Amino acid sequence: MSGKASLTSDHISRVLENRAVDDLERDLSPDFENLPGRFPAGASVREESVARRWGYLGSERHNREIPDSAWAGQIENFVGTVSLPVGIAGPLRVRGLYAKGDFPIPLATTEAALVASYHRGATLLTASGGCRSFLLYEAVSRAPAFAFSSLIDLGKFVLWVIGKQDEFKEIAASTTQHGRLVDMGIAVEGNHIYLDFEFTTGDAAGQNMVTIATQAIFDFILAKTPVNPTEAYVEGNYSGDKKASAQSFTSVRGKKVTTEAIIPADLIAKRLHTTPEKMCDYWRMSALGGVLSGTVGVQGHYANGLAALFIATGQDPACVAESAVGVTRFETTSAGDLYSAVTLPDLIVGTVGGGTGLPDQNGFLDLMGLAGAGNSGAFAEVCGGLMLAGELSIIGAMAAGDFTRAHEKRTRK
């Protein structure tokens, strides 16, 4: 993985706190015990089918009338709501640093075949003993920008700013109980400078939190700087907010997660109707296709699953723009099985704040066992598992020649 040494060290210390390395290895090993029973999947939307699915989930159907007051602070110029169907994929078994268990995955979408595809991949991973998913580290950035009349003035400003980092941390801490400033990057272009402030944000996605903290630091800089800038902006479009960017792989925006699993060849034959070798052949060609087309990262369809999960659980759907950046890798093992991995460097997710508090969205987080404080790390690791499930399913369909047929079956009467 790549990232700031200080962030990585702090994260590893938190992971190993009150936990021995041997215990960690046991916790992360594939688990074939007590595999969950088959979810009552299918295309039927009849009431009895829906009732069976809620019965399997062990929960009462939580969709209900929501008072208008629930939308206060969430929307402007309010005129009403829209409805989207939500399906369940899984259960998905995750063996993570934070996520441990079998997770039903709620996906809100109008794309037929999408839930079926992620469901197929999730059940394949579960039958393989689950996936390992690691939250590597986390930080959310905001990057104010300043212009000066010359490089000489800019240099004086840089020397002053570097010496004020402890004060910046104190100022940031005064604006929030849950976030803290952990690092500051510097990028210079001519007589322009961008300060990349990186914050941890607790269990919130944190964009508003870091904006407010950065504004306080920004105001302090303008009041105290020994060299006045000719221009100054609280965000210089350097942070990567709501867009794919090349710096994703050398830094982090949100939570950086990597997930892996080894899928036995016999399971691939049974569930995907192909072989590990054919899946690797397709992955190689698709990876080169991504490089030739200039994509940021190389993957099949992260945006599909993330958008559906984000809408169902109250995340900011616009953050799919950066969250769907990532890399998928497939290899055959010496035993002839399939090694599969995904890495997502920019997951902007949370389990508190924003839309996560809305009744239905909070209900689906609760269904996963991930609502509220203390669960954002686990939620991010589950996102990694879901992306791996989607990649396994779509690449399996391509390798088996089933991709078009599956869409015809699901989308046409």
| Token duo for residue 179 | 């976030």
| Token duo for residue 364 | 């689906």
Report the phi/psi class of residue 353: left, alpha or beta, with left for phi > 0 and alpha for psi in -120 to 50. left
Cα 307 from Cα 319, distance rounded (Å): 9
Cα 300 from Cα 158, distance rounded (Å): 42
If we measure between CA atoms, which residue out of 335, 336, 341, 328 comes closest to residue 284? 328
Q: Which run of H or of E encompasses 311?
A: helix 302-313
Q: Is 407 a catalytic residue?
A: yes
Residue of 10, 102, 192, 407 marked catalytic: 407
Backbone φ, ψ for residue 42 (5° rounding): 145, 170
Q: Is the dihedral of CA 193, 182, 249, 385 positive or negative?
A: negative
Cα 32 from Cα 45, distance rounded (Å): 32
| Token duo for residue 19 | 């936990």
Q: Is 235 a catalytic residue?
A: no
Cα 259 from Cα 338, distance rounded (Å): 14
If we measure between CA atoms, which residue out of 172, 176, 154 comes closest to residue 164? 172
Instruction: Map residue 217 onto helix, strand or coil.
Output: helix
**Half-sphere exposure of residue 11, counting CA atoms within 13 Å on the CB side?**
22
Residue of 10, 102, 111, 260 marked catalytic: 111
Instruction: Map residue 331 onto helix, strand or coil.
Output: strand
Dihedral angle, C-alpha 228, 234, 238, 244, nearest 10 °: -170
* DSSP string computed for 21-32: HHHHHHHHS---
Provide the terminal-to-terminal Cα distance of the chain, rounded to the nearest Å.
46
Residue of 31, 153, 316, 381 marked catalytic: 316
Q: Which run of H or of E encompasses 343?
A: strand 338-347
Cα 406 from Cα 389, distance rounded (Å): 16
Cα 95 from Cα 101, distance rounded (Å): 7
Q: Is 11 a catalytic residue?
A: no
Question: How long a stretch of residues is the chain?
Answer: 413
Burial of 335 (0-12, 13-18, 19+ CB in 10 A): exposed
Q: What residues pair up with 184 in beta bridges, in sequence order? A: 197
Catalytic residues: 111, 316, 407
